[in-house]
Amino acid sequence: MPIESLKERLPAFAKDAKLNLSSMLSDETLNPQQRYGLFLACAIATRNADVVRAFEALARQHLSPQALDAARAAATVMAMNNIYYRFVHLASNKAYESKPARLRMNVIANPGVDKADFELWSLAVSAINGCGKCIDAHDKVLHDAGVSEDTVHTAVRFAAIIQSVAVGLEAGEAAASLSEAAE
């Protein structure tokens, strides 16, 4: 499914999501690998199959097979880490902070793409998944690597837009299905 189809399917109440999506797609603040890897990792994090398919098709036009896999890996490993570290962070029992995670996450050390790009994708996915501990950890790595705050801000803004598109599509589908059922 092409991105244009997603835009066409967004209902009128999601006009802002459509406008933001258009502006995001024309924004060239990030380099192509950062941009399209981020799009794909964030699309996967939305768990919306149509959004994933659309951004996968777009990313395939711009990324190497290794970068595609790295973006998929960022979404996958953050799905695990964001749950675990959000729990550790939010739990009242601080004893969990001293326990080893015992989770395999080798891809973070060797993602197959520029480490800063992978960290940027991981941070954006962590923003979608709501893990402050992971956001802080990835932000620190990015800062130490010399990645600007503007780049991080853009990545999170793009994550927010992609999530908004997924929610708008789902809300529109739910409303349409309820309208059909009422007829």
Q: Is 134 a catalytic residue?
A: yes
Length of the chain: 183
Q: Is 42 a catalytic residue?
A: no
- The architecture (CATH level 2) of 15-100+113-182 comes to Up-down Bundle (1.20)
Q: What is the pLDDT of residue 177?
A: 81
Which position among 17, 113, 134, 162 bears the catalytic label? Answer: 134
List, for residues 112-128, the tens digit of each pLDDT value: 999 999 999 999 999 99
Which position among 67, 131, 141, 147 bears the catalytic label? Answer: 131
CB-based contacts of 19, cutoff 8 Å, min separation 6:
none
Residue 46 C-beta-side C-alpha neighbours within 13 Å: 27
List, for residues 45-81, the tens digit of each pLDDT value: 999 999 999 999 999 999 999 999 999 999 999 999 9
Q: Where are the domains of the chain?
A: 15-100+113-182
| pTM score of the predicted model | 0.94
CB-based contacts of 168, cutoff 8 Å, min separation 6:
10, 11, 13, 14, 17, 18
Supply the mean pLDDT for the chain. Answer: 95
Task: With CA atoms as reference, report the closest residue to 157 among 133, 137, 127.
Answer: 127
Q: Distances in Å between the alpha carbon of 110 and those of 106, 114, 172?
A: 7, 9, 40
Q: What is the pLDDT of residue 178?
A: 79
